Amino acid sequence: MEMSTFDVPVSRLIDEIPELRELVSTLTRERDEARAEVERLRAVVQDLCKVLDECVWEIDTRYGPPGSNNIDRELIERAYAALAKAKGET
């Protein structure tokens, strides 16, 4: 029985075609770099969430109990909403 081109395993084609091997190598490297960047950004977001939470809490409670700072109320509400969004809570 004769094999068609479509019956050849992809790994064999990658091994036999230098351009394809190079492309797969490039795509693999770029995928790995993208994964590393995603992990770096996740860590940055976690740090920013922590700092934002601390800052908003400080502003919200500066003049009394939470919710008593009416001067910055809109800013506080926007910051809490952005923090919830960054944490995936909304």
User: Model-level pTM?
Assistant: 0.60
Residues comprising the chain, all counted: 90
Per domain, the residue ranges of the chain are 5-86
CB-CB neighbours of 56 under 10 Å = 20
Q: 44-86, pLDDT tens digit by residue? A: 988 988 998 898 888 888 878 887 777 778 888 888 888 888 8
Tell which residue, 33, 79, 36, has the closest CA to residue 58: 79
pLDDT of residue 32: 96
80, 59 Cβ separation under 8 angstroms? no
Nearest to 46 by CA among 82, 90, 86: 86
> 72 versus 40: which is more confidently predicted?
40
Amino acid at 82: A
Q: Which two three-digit tokens encode residue 19?
A: 């351009």
Residue 1: is its pLDDT beyond 50?
no
